[in-house]
Structure formats: C-alpha cells, structure tokens
Structure 1
Amino acid sequence: MTQILYPEPLTDDAFAPFGDVLDVSGNPDKMINAGLCGRYHDRAKLDFSSGRAGISIFQAQSRSFPILLDMMERHPDGSQAFLPMSFDPFLVIVAKDEVGQPGLPRVFCTVPGQGVNYRRGTWHGVLTPLHAPGLFAVVDRIGAGPNLEEHWFTTPFTIENDKK
C-alpha cells in the first residue's frame, strides 16, 4: 500500500536540516547600483569535496498531481542549488539519511521567487516543476568521479495536492 504525502510551505526553519531557501525575504544586506538594486548576500552554502562550481541549465517536464515518488537521489561530493527561471512553484522533496538510505520524505511547495540549495549528501527527489517551462539554473559540482547515489523505494509514495 502506497503512503500519501502532502506538500507543506517551504520556510527557512522547516528546510534548515536539508539546505538553504533562496529568496529575497527580509531586507537586502546592502543597496548597490546607485541604490537601484538590493543585494541579498551569500544566501547558499556551496560545499564541494573536489572539483569546482558550475552553472548548468535544466529543463524538466512539468508534473501534475497525483505524483509518484519511487526514487530519491543524493550527491555525496557537492551541494546542488536550483534557481527557477520562471515565477512558477515547484515541489522540493527531501529526506533525512537513515543508515545510508532516505527516511520518510517531506514535500515542500515553493512560492514564486524561491529556490533551494541542497546540502551535500541530502536525499532529494527529482526536479518537479508544477508548470511549464520547468526551466532552472543549477549550481553544482563539476568534477571527475561519480557524484550520484540513487535509492529506489520498494513501496513508492504518492504525493497529493491537498488533504481531502
């Protein structure tokens, strides 16, 4: 029997065990460009065991509810930041590590203007935009060697939009 998961709002406190919420909450750290631009400084803790930071562009197919969660992945050698290139929400699916595999997943739903940075080694679901175009800038480790572990669930989870 599949277990049902429901999205919760993405907040700094709720997401803290898994990484950083990237947004413009609060006041800018300083104003730049003759006072025309607020700089929200150093919002993500990039962490790479080797290699270098690179920026890639991902285009993921949008999803609709119910969503099947049958696999999670993690990157042991580097953090991974997802910055949406549109103002559409997406799901952020994460789990704490339990003896080398993901524990019970948590599902967060972003609001327009939010991105995330997964800490190195954090179990997370695949990129799950809820609307096209599903376009994201991704900052992650570029380097030699494998940096991907996958875990396939024996019994998948179902993600529903809301509790009925």
Structure 2
Amino acid sequence: MTDRIRPQPLTAEAFAPFGDVLEATGAPDKIINQGLCGRYHDRAVLDFNEGRAGISLFKAEPRSLPYRLDMVERHPDGSQAFLPMSMDPFLVIVATDNRGQPGQIHAFLTSAGQGVNLHRGVWHGVLTPLHAPGLFGVVDRIGDGQNLEEHWFDREIVIED
C-alpha cells in the first residue's frame, strides 16, 4: 500500500507545530536606511544546544512531483533555517513525532520568497527544490557531537502534484 500526500500551501498557522515561516509580507516592523528599506525583525528563534549559529550554502539538485519520500531526518541539537536564494517555490516535508519516531507526514509548497526555520528536533525531509539552481542559505548549529538522526521508511510514501 502506498501513502499518498498532497502538499498544501505553506502558511504560518499550518506550519507552526514544526517551525517558523520566513517571509516579508505585510507592513515591515521598522523602516531603516533613510526610509528605503523595510525590516521584518526577528522572525525566527534560533535554538541550539551548545555550539554556535553558522551560515552555510546548500546547492541541491531539483526534484519533481510526484516525489517518493523514503527518509526523514531530524537535528536534536539545533534548529535549521532554509532561505532560498531564488524566487522559486520548494517542497517542505515534515512529520509529527510519535514517541521518537516520525508520525503523521505533512507536505507544504512554499510561495516565491518564503523560507522556513525548522524547530530543533523536528522530523523533516531532505532539501527539496523544484527548480534550478536549488541554492539556499542555511542557518544551523555548528558544533561538536552528532546532530543528525535518520529514519528510513519501510513503506512507499508519495508526495503528489
């Protein structure tokens, strides 16, 4: 049997159990730079056990829908923010936690200009751009110790169009 999941649009309300939606919508919190720049201030909480925040660049191969999900991962020692460096939408896959194992899977499709900050310990799929160049700025924990857990599924899970 195949689990089929249809992605929903990424909204702050729907994504709240998993993290923060990063977007510059509505009125900015502050106007800076001689009135020429709106600042959307402090939109996510970086949450790390020890270590420090680092900024990395990820360049991922584009995927397509339908997408076969075979693995999710989580980072128990730190949150992880993904900021696309293009205006292309990407797929965000997350799962609830069921006593240390991934539970119900949710898929979200971002709008142009949206990023996400995954809370520490949230099960999530790998970076899944749907268009080239697949380039992202990633803010996450840099530090000692193992900060990665993977779970491989023994059933077929497909994220549909």
TM-score (normalised: structure 2)? 0.99
For 1:5 and 1:152, locate their aligned partners in 2 and report how far apart those are by CA, in whole Å.
17
Name the aligned partner's letter for residue 102 of structure 2.
P
Residue 157 of structure 1: aligned partner:
157
Q: Secondary structure at the match of 2:151?
A: strand
Report sequence identity in percent.
Answer: 71
Q: Hey, which bits of structure 1, 4+ residues long, moved more than 3 A?
A: none
Residue 15 of structure 2: aligned partner:
15
Quote the offset at 1:104 in angstroms.
1.5
Q: Secondary structure at the match of 1:13?
A: helix
Q: Secondary structure at the match of 1:156?
A: strand
For 2:66 and 2:13, locate their aligned partners in 1 and report how far apart those are by CA, in whole Å.
27
Quote the offset at 1:2 in angstroms.
1.2
The gaps in structure 1 that reach 5 residues or longer are none
Quote the offset at 1:26 in angstroms.
1.8
Name the aligned partner's letter for residue 76 of structure 1.
P
Residue 38 of structure 2: aligned partner:
38
Alignment: residue pair count = 161
1:27-66 to structure 2, matched below 5 A, reads 27-66=27-66
Q: Secondary structure at the match of 1:14?
A: helix
- The Cα RMSD (Å) is 0.5
The gaps in structure 2 that reach 5 residues or longer are none
Q: Secondary structure at the match of 2:104?
A: coil
1:1-164 to structure 2, matched below 5 A, reads 1-161=1-161
**CA offsets 1:6-50 (integer angstroms, 9 cap, x no match):** 110000000000000000122100000000000000001100011
Quote the offset at 1:156 in angstroms.
2.6
Name the aligned partner's letter for residue 52 of structure 2.
R
For 2:156 and 2:127, locate their aligned partners in 1 and report how far apart those are by CA, in whole Å.
17
For 2:156 and 2:76, locate their aligned partners in 1 and report how far apart those are by CA, in whole Å.
23
Quote the offset at 1:65 in angstroms.
1.5
